[in-house]
Structure 1
Amino acid sequence: MTVIPKDSRLRYHCQLRQSAEERHAETHPLTWRLREDGARVGFEEYCAKEGYQSARQTLTQRTPADIIDTMKQANVRGRGGGGFSAGVKWGLTQVGDHLPRGYLICNADEMEPGTFKDRLLLEQLPHLLIESMIIAGYANRSCYGYIFLRGEYVEAARSVALAIEEARQAGLLGSDIAGSGFDFDIALHTGAGRYICGEETALINSLEGKRANPRAKPPFPGQSGAWGKPTVVNNVETLCNVPSVMQHGADWYQGLSGGLSEDGGTKLYGVSGLVERPGLWELPIGTSGREILERAGGMRQGHTLKAWLPGGGSTGFLLPEHLDLPMDFGTIGQYGSRLGTGLIAVVSERQSIVSLLRNLEQFFARESCGWCTPCRDGLPWTVKILQALERGEGKPEYIEILEQHTLGLNPARTFCAHAPGAMMPLESAIRHFRADFEAGIAHAPLEGVS
């Protein structure tokens, strides 16, 4: 077991495993400015590394419509898990000139199990996010921006709060930014740490001081979001692509994938679990799972790969034979999973798939907002069945009941995507490892699950 000194745990979990020699502005737009020692990049250092140049040029030389068109052409897809086009989402705020100025919200809650990529950017490169939000706010005619940050990210909160103040003192937030006539400021809001806030309307409700329940759509936030105003919600990594897209153009961004994928840009990929070198890498989108796992040094000695989650706890399990698939949105979706956040969690042959599922479903059951019955009642029942199978006290019909849950808790029957996301790893685990579930069936008749 690796022992991590208390004062170094934070850096261990968000370590970028690429040296400065490997990273360049033309090929690594998200990470080329990072320091080798993992320390925070301050305002002066960020400016010396071309920081805020894109924002100054964009605000004075381009129109909001032009910026949105460039984002659409670049096809910057959401890096928080959904993969929706940021340009299309931004375009919703431009439907009708009568719409008032609204809000830009950065979703920095990062509650997806096994995910720690945004934490790296928030702690070590906060000014990239600030610059990105200035451009995005201008494009969406936003009057104010919010960074919705999970409360447990204490170091990230300190780093971002300092960056906001540094930018404000430099005249890059507030009134008449860089002499452009654009007024925009940002506030840091630390949330209570709820997974459901990954759903944008639940996040908006929480920001407004309400219970974090999802809202019915339509209307979509682009027309009526925070406090009834047009609102854009984007993930940290998604937004951090914006300055380089504005500076280098859509064709350049599309070319970053090097032909590995129809998607454009790079992606912060990572690996956690029983591997030699857990960490993060900025790689062309479409890089194979095998290459990412090899960069992590492969499985730890004495362990072999049984399965892997490609992008967090709410994605479906893939097998070792799937490692050569391009890690992009379309390809992974064709094999019954999702790219999600792009951070691989490996499962060793020594680990019980049923126990792993029970742990995941306990998390999802606990994090349900309780708004709709299938999610509120279905997820705890799933946990009870998995607990019985884990103890070897299951009944033959339990596996069929679990399969019925994966069909019943789908988007057509639940208010949001929380329960369907919880069902994806369960469905894929039963499909690939049915024998593991059958091993939990008792040989003697037992009472039902209490």
Structure 2
Amino acid sequence: MTDQAFDTLQIHAGAEPDPATGARQVPIYQTTSYVFKDADHAARLFGLQEVGYIYSRLTNPTVSALAARVAALEGGVGAVCCSSGHAAQIMALFPLMGPGLNIVASTRLYGGTITQFSQTIKRFGWSCTFVDFDDLAALEAAVDDNTRAIFCESISNPGGYITDLPAVAAVANKVGLPLIVDNTLASPYLCRPIEHGATLVVHSATKYLTGNGTVTGGVIVDSGKFDWSASGKFPSLSAPEPAYHGLKFHEALGPMAFTFHSIAVGLRDLGMTMNPQGAHYTLMGIETLSLRMDKHVANAKAVAEWLAKDPRIDFVTWAGLPSSPWHERAERLCPKGAGALFTVAVKGGYEACVKLVNNLKLFSHVANLGDARSLIIHSASTTHRQLTEEQQIKAGAAPNVVRLSIGIENAADLIADLDQALAAATA
């Protein structure tokens, strides 16, 4: 099925009519457990000798359909769904890491990710070095013998910066490490990181994949292309697993090693499970992903071009503008559009940003993005509040900017709303 067009895959991948009832839409399998055929069947399932359903903390038919669909859209061999985008990041790192090990990550990341990597993962004995990924020499120099992954966002939150994925992947290949790319802001419709050298792709399915602000969820997609046994650095995947009688995941499962390990060990022990109703909402959202992303991008273009000409604005960071330093990358890596999230610097600084937020009528002031509705937030005082001002600036969330997530409303109405709010903010 993966040779079909994106628009077809977003509706059909991972789903067949229900064999029991003929239901055409994927049913919500609201169950915790599944009846085994007999004792031997149960033993084969628990021994990873047969694929099937045991308990919904591990696998569930609704959730499995979503995993298969996202894997097909991203061009991966398999995927694992979990409870949130943050959960997906920990799940992606879990098989790779151990006490005393580290990752190298871009400085241009969502504020919550920076906190997760700079603070929370220390409790696992892991650490992170943050580097400007435009400086490839610095990126390579930051890697040491204890580094186990390189992490970035395809389009960064909040500034809309475009990472040069092929260049970063070349460094990852040179040092023999997996490249993990958060593709939340692009979605697989605008960018497919695996085609540019990514090993793993993570998503907050909460955002564009679902597209309607109803549920949280995360997905990890495996390219199936990394050799987990080549260096001896990834024993969870290459060495005998005590919980499965010495099974070597990579040796036994090949390209599917990471996916099976994430289910059989990651979900089993961390329990970051996606619920089937949440998976159902996301499946329905994905059916219109290409249509929505085209509208998101068209609206973002109209709004960004209008703001860029407005004398009340210092700058706009949307990479689709020819004036953007990332415009060439956007055209090369995201030919269908540079996404619909960017920041705007308002003349008048912090106070003007607050007034702008408070005077908007159509834009919703929420801590989310990728909704059908247009959204705004002042990142420095909210999502990136926990960072120092220097970190905020490096992340693209300086005190004088607001983050816009452009929805699928009428573009003229959005511009009119911004116009009246800017008048109040800069009076």
TM-score (norm 1): 0.28
Higher relative CO (Cα under 8 Å, sequence separation at least 6) belongs to 2
TM-score (norm 2): 0.29
